[in-house]
Chain A
Amino acid sequence: MSTIPLTSNTAPALQRRRQALLGDYGMPIVYAVLFGVLSVTVENFFSLANVLGLMLSVAQIGMVACTMMLCLASRDFDLSVGSTIAFAGVLGAIVLERSGSVGLAVTAGLGAGAIIGAANGALIAYLRVNALIATLATMLMVRGLAFIVSQGQAVGIANETFISFGDTRLAGIPLPVLVTGACFVVFGVLLNHTVFGRNTLAIGGNPEAARLAGVKVERLRVIIFLLQGLVTAMAGLILASRITSGQPNAAQGFELDVISACVLGGVSLQGGNARIFGVLVGVLIMGTVENVMNLLDVDAFYQYLMRGLILLAAVLLDQLKARGGRG
């Protein structure tokens, strides 16, 4: 009997390792180079104040990108985050106005987020509605709710304690940036060091195989979306605190920014693949590009163009990588 020989593969293995290295660290390297070049070429870019400002500008995107990463990793999608931010902010502001209790306001906002998230999850996991459609529907409904409860008007916030969430600094770092950092740590650990994270990747890779391997797929989906709703509501409350009002039309198009950041960070829309470090870099790239264009006084109209081009470039890079990997 002739056995099938393994291909001898010392040289290709080395090449593959180099490719994998490039795959894992490609975007971070691109970002490091970009950062270096901008520090030298763009006036006022390389200063603590500017870099902190940059981070603050992407704090909300960063938080939500952490949970969006889990969503995408499990081969799902969430379009409702922008509406949830607005609704949580408006609801928090109204409860604060009526009750004067910060605790109650935060609870109401987070509770609303959790309910929206769990509803998304249940629609997708148990009623098997396509994630795109389900969250498109909740996106519209939640935005509508934000307008209904606020009667279309911004709800002002006067409570000092609540406002201090947005502008407190610890060791010189704004609180929202610290919260975002904490999110990256927590969700990084969840993704890489817990069954929850591993199973999330498993159901993204192949849901049926994951189920037969003992993963409770439906329950896991609901938990992922619930976390997404919770974190998004937190981002909404922080935004409300920063702008001292609950705005029913806040964060329009926010969902696309978050998904862009994830894709920039190498999260595959096919599921089964995600790296927290990549998402962090994706968020930073988004923030940096916007920051630099503002510093250079680039017309807002052209900023849209640039952001689209960068997203496209990142996706093409990713495909090139995938093709290389497949050989």
Chain B
Amino acid sequence: MAPDLRFDDVSKRFPGVVALGGVSFEAHAGAVHGLLGENGAAKSTLVKILGGQYRPDGGSLQIGGRECHFHSAADAIASGVAIIHQELQYVSELTVAENVLLGRLPTRFGFVDRAAAQRLVVERLTAMGVDLDPGAHLKDLSIAQRQMVEICKAVMQDAQVIAFDEPTSSLSHKETEILFRLVKELRADGRTLIYISHRLEELYALCDACTVLRDGRKIVTHPVMAEVPRERLISDMVGRELSDIYDYRPRPMGETRLHVQGVADGCDFTVQAGEILGFFGLIGAGRSELMRKVYGADRHAGSVMLDGAQVAATDPAAAIAAGIVLCPEDRQEQGILPTASVAENINISCRRNELLGGLFLRHRQEAMRADDFIKRLHIKTPHRDQEIRLLSGGNQQKAILARWLAEPDMKVLILDEPTRGIDVGAKNDIYNIIHEVAARGCCVIVVSSELPEVLGIADRVAVMRDGRIAGTLARADATETAVLSLALPDSTSDLTSDPISARRAA
């Protein structure tokens, strides 16, 4: 049988990195093909090539034996490809019916025929077994309902190839079951389905075959999912023992330096000198919000004490002056100064300490500092004057870390999702930096959704749930089960029993 979807030696480069290095695999109609890999394994890149958002630099894509060259997302849709993206793509001000039929609304005498549109959509939704008001605005629906709208749209477009990019990341257990039923129906209908997820349970429940990616390369394709042992999948994905990249080094700890009190309800905590405190929790557990408040980026009525002195952190500038710094969660939107150079991104804050006559910049000093950090932190950039937006995520993150390492008086380093979307090599570098900073006697706070990461590097783990710290565990007591039982609402602990699915849950 000819493959219904075939990637043939597909590659994609971004400035400075090869995101996808010659990936080939096939998927068949009437089957669900799983795509697995760690963050940065290039699963999403592959899906974006399938959806026409990226053009491959090499190799080809074949659907039903025909070679496809998509120049835009519209081309892909016209060829019967639909992508259900991780971040759903809808128009929140339009109704369900309008979203489903966007671009192809039925008209009468040149005007949109609302009645016909609603009828068409209700028919399809009913056939899918989904109860949704076609006149409701997307902005009023839950994420799960919006996802149903996307799936309905794909079906209405008669897409034969449908890819799901981590569809369950924000769904409840019950919503996940509805999604599974829909996917199975689409499979029975003879469509070719690609399913991306970190949750092994899901992949075993849904997929007929699977391909594992790591660092932009295909590791293996398993034609029969059911025959693959779970341990094999994990080692395929990670490529090594899980624990060794964290390189945990016990170190002496001093007195308590940081006291956070009343900043948010039920969120008091302390950090000792030289301690790495991990913060774990599900999406929306309030970790980033808490850290932003401690940093003075958002208002709060509580108190932050550092070395016994009150920190008047009314804005980040004041927090930095007091020695508290933050590497934000969203590197692109909150971390980098995109149009500025790598050197500028490193020097933006610390230069205030060395101004000539309190006013003029010391260019030579700044250039030397930039070069020094580029070398020390292995920042891959052709030159210190390169615009930072052209660097890969890992190297951008290192530059932001360099910005704070350059602060002579850094006392508290807060890292929010420091390794999200970063390749393995850079991760290791970042863990090393974290350990060095802690060894100097700084307080380090690491917020992460990756449970293995938190368990791997933290001396102590604070677990958040529903905006409060549900509990704090010492390293010796912080097992996956212990942390998850604190992090999860009581009812839905069944889907998450292994480390890989746990990081998805977060």
Contact = CB atoms under 8 A, between A and B. Distances in A.
A199 B333 CA distance: 17
B contact residues, range: 35 or more
B335 A209 contact: yes
Contacts, number: 107
Nearest to B219: A2
B18 A7 contact: yes
A212 interface: yes
A39 interface: no
A191 to B, nearest CB: 11
Interface in B329-361: 333-340, 344, 348-349, 351-352, 355, 359-361
Contacts of B336: 206, 209
B380 interface: yes
Interface string A58-77: 00000000000000000000
B337 A209 contact: yes
Nearest to B42: A4
Given A205-B340, A272-B338, A214 B382 contact: no
A117 B18 CA distance: 49
Interface string A268-296: 10111100000000000000000000000
A195 B297 CA distance: 21
A325 B214 CA distance: 30
A202 B334 contact: no
A5 interface: yes
Interface string A195-217: 10011011011101111111110
A1 interface: yes
A323 interface: no
B349 A213 contact: yes
B424 A214 contact: no
Contacts of B297: 211-212
Given A1-B239, A194-B361, A272 B382 contact: no
A224 to B, nearest CB: 17
Nearest to B380: A6
Given A193-B360, A194-B361, A198-B361, A4 B18 contact: yes
B326 A212 contact: yes
Interface residues of A, number: 34
A272 B337 contact: yes
A213 B424 contact: no
B315 A216 contact: yes
B361 A193 contact: yes
A206 B348 contact: no
A214 B353 CA distance: 13
28 contacts: A1-B215, A1-B240, A2-B217, A3-B215, A6-B17, A6-B380, A7-B18, A194-B359, A198-B344, A198-B348, A199-B348, A202-B337, A202-B348, A204-B339, A205-B337, A205-B340, A206-B336, A206-B337, A206-B338, A208-B334, A209-B333, A209-B337, A210-B337, A211-B297, A211-B315, A212-B297, A212-B326, A214-B349
Interface of B: 13, 15-18, 21, 214-217, 239-240, 295, 297, 315-317, 320-321, 326, 328, 333-340, 344, 348-349, 351-352, 355, 359-361, 363, 380, 382, 403, 423-425
